[in-house]
Amino acid sequence: MEEEADIVFDCPHCGKSLEIDARGAGMAIVCPDCNNSVQVPIPEESNIVAISSGPAPSLEGALAQIHSLTVSAAASQAKIERLVESLEEIRDRRAYLEKLRIENMARFDRVAGEMTVIQSAIDRIVSILQDAKAEKTAE
């Protein structure tokens, strides 16, 4: 059932025989058997039969499509630049927050040490007061 414009190849991961329209040459697809990414091979020029069975597009149509793709590419590039900038800001913010977390952990450790000292002092005061009370009742 293979058409002349199809590319037939085997999945390099599982060996499944795959068939795709020649317009997919060079694209990455997912193998339906093993779910691994597979790049569709690009056939030699001599093996390529007419990819489109329809009429050739007009020059105006082709130019309009090129213009549309150029506009889309520019918009996509602008979006990529915004996303890269946003990613850099997020990475900077994450680094700053990680620095604060480390500083706060050190502070918490110091506070815990001071609380241990305070608890020891309270225990000594309670002991002294109990001794004083015991001496007073003994008199």
| pLDDT value at residue 2 | 45
- pLDDT (0 to 100) of residue 55: 62
Vertex 34: Cα angle to 31 and 36 (nearest 5): 60
Mean pLDDT by 10 residues, the chain (139 residues): 71 91 85 90 59 65 87 91 97 98 98 98 98 89
Q: Which residues of 123-139 are buried (b: 16+ CB within 10 A; e: fewer)?
A: eeeeeeeeeeeeeeeee
Residue 128's pLDDT is 97
Sequence-separated (6 or more) residues with CB below 8 Å from residue 133 = none
Task: Give the pLDDT of residue 1.
Answer: 44
Predicted TM-score (pTM) above 0.85: no
